[in-house]
Amino acid sequence: MDIKNGKLYIYDVNLKYRNYLRKYDSKVSMKEGRRFYGILITKDNIDYCIPFTSKVKKRNSKLTINIKNKNKIIAQLLINNMIPVNSSVIEKVDVNKDKYKEYLQDEIIYLKTKNVINEIINKVEKAFIILDDENHRDYNFYKNICCEYKLLEEKCRNYKK
């Protein structure tokens, strides 16, 4: 598992695709009226988009990456809301032309540190391990708040624009 192509970019996920996935899993975040920004990781040749949220609040640290600027949390990555994607449903965000340019640049700068990239990968790997083991003590907790990754992978493969 790694950051997609070893480079950290911000992507936007198509609304129609998210609506499609939501038919199969109500935990797919819709973010009505807002874009679905995130970063991509790759696991077993499947890309996953881990979404940002600017609605910073206390969340479970096992499934959240806090993004900081000068020790202040400015955003969070929500591992429990990550969804599988393919190239037809994502668009790379041109940060330099985005109306939230400074904000997005601050997020990327923070995320690019080696420790944070390792934290992301470790937390995502742990989520997959726990969700594959019904006997794990955290299985029910993860199952209740994470998207149905395996089901959504299948739906992603079958998705036609």
pLDDT value at 59 more than 90? no
Burial 64-86 (b: 16+ CB within 10 A, else e): bbbbeeeeeebbbbbbbbbbbbe
Q: What is the pLDDT of residue 143?
A: 95
Q: What is the CATH number of the domain that holds 151?
A: 3.10.129.130
Question: Per the structure, how many domains does the chain have?
Answer: 1
Does residue 87 have a pLDDT over 90? yes
What is the rounded average pLDDT for all residues in the chain?
90
Indicate if the pLDDT at residue 83 is higher than 80: yes
Average pLDDT over residues 84-88: 95
Q: Burial, 106: exposed, middle or buried (Cβ in 10 Å; 0-12, 13-18, 19+)?
A: middle
- Structure-block tokens of residue 62: 């096992």
Share of the chain above pLDDT 90, in %: 57
The predicted pLDDT at position 1 comes to 67
Q: What pLDDT is stored for residue 20 in this prediction? A: 95
Tell me the mean pLDDT in the region 138-145.
95
Mean pLDDT of 26-49: 88
Q: Confirm whether pTM is higher than 0.85.
A: yes
Please tell me the least confidently modeled range out of 53-57, 69-73, 88-92, 107-111. Answer: 53-57
Q: Which structural domain range is residue 50 located in?
A: 2-158
